[in-house]
Amino acid sequence: VKRHQSLLPPCRAWCLAAATATVVAAGCLSLTPILATHKVELKPVADSGEYQVDPINFSVSYVHEGLRLRVQYMTSDQLEAQIPGEENPFVFKHVDYDQGFVPQRFTVFQVTLANPTFDKVLAQPDRVYLVTDRGKIMRPYALTRADASGDPRNFETYWLSRGVQSGNAQKMYLERMAVLRGSIYQPNNFVFKGNTYSGKLAFDPLPIDTREVVLHIDRLVLEFGIYDVPKTQTDLEFPFSVDSRIVEGTLVQN
């Protein structure tokens, strides 16, 4: 029986194999998709009367007799900087290959209520809504199903619906809910004189063609009567211009 032997010297055979591997790797790299990201930036457009815009961080504040309610849109980069790990519940970190880019997960505002003046004040998340230039009305996410009173827009339903069957997934779910519990604007938080309260309001992502939105905070209670019945209330509007675009990035390495 004749045995077939390589006609190439061992060194040349090894070099050929290495070169082939390099070509294959390069071919795979060329097929790797570009990392594109949906970037959204909101800038306030009201700066008059009792509304003041900060030109540095683009927050806008309602100011009344010393009381200050500040609203700041949070970009994905800012949210990533605050919560850099996988437990960040507000952002996507990977490409959605059906869309071809990293999408927005939520539209997030940081709301801060500072009260140096009144006995106590109250802003309720269920009295907040966002209106787009197309007339779409959006409500913020509650923390739990119980808080949402049947509304599917709550973080408990959102994250449970994305699967928690494995031990690691359940651990991540609990970590994300812990982050949310400590960061979102909770209901029924009276802000007493001399105190400040701050939290995030999260809405569904804006349609990609949105150019303007108005954040409404209705029935901000400035004064209470007997038995905590609201006595003085005011409705606030915070208009924003929207810059929504797809930004190309670098190669994604699989």
Would you say residue 20 lies in a domain? Answer: no
**Cβ-contact 118, 104 below 8 angstroms:** no
Question: Residue range 136-149: average pLDDT?
Answer: 96
37's tokens: 């990201």
Would you say residue 176 lies in a domain? Answer: no
Name the residue range of residue 49's domain: 36-141+184-251
CA distances from 97 to 85, 195, 228 (A): 22, 46, 52
pLDDT tens track for 151-207: 999 999 999 998 877 888 899 999 999 999 999 999 999 999 999 999 999 999 999
pLDDT tens track for 64-90: 999 999 999 999 999 999 999 999 999
Q: Distance between CA 109 and CA 61 in Å, rounded?
A: 13
pTM greater than 0.95 (yes/no): no
Would you say residue 169 lies in a domain? Answer: no
Would you say residue 13 lies in a domain? Answer: no
**Which CATH number is 241's domain given?**
2.60.40
**Cβ-contact 129, 138 below 8 angstroms:** yes
Would you say residue 104 lies in a domain? Answer: yes
Would you say residue 166 lies in a domain? Answer: no
- Please give the tally of structural domains in the chain: 1
pLDDT tens track for 3-61: 444 444 444 444 444 444 443 444 444 444 568 999 999 999 977 889 999 999 999 99
Would you say residue 168 lies in a domain? Answer: no
* Neighbour-count burial for 151-184, b at 16+ CB within 10 Å, e otherwise: eeebbbbbbeeeeeeeeeeeebbeebbebbeebb
Would you say residue 165 lies in a domain? Answer: no
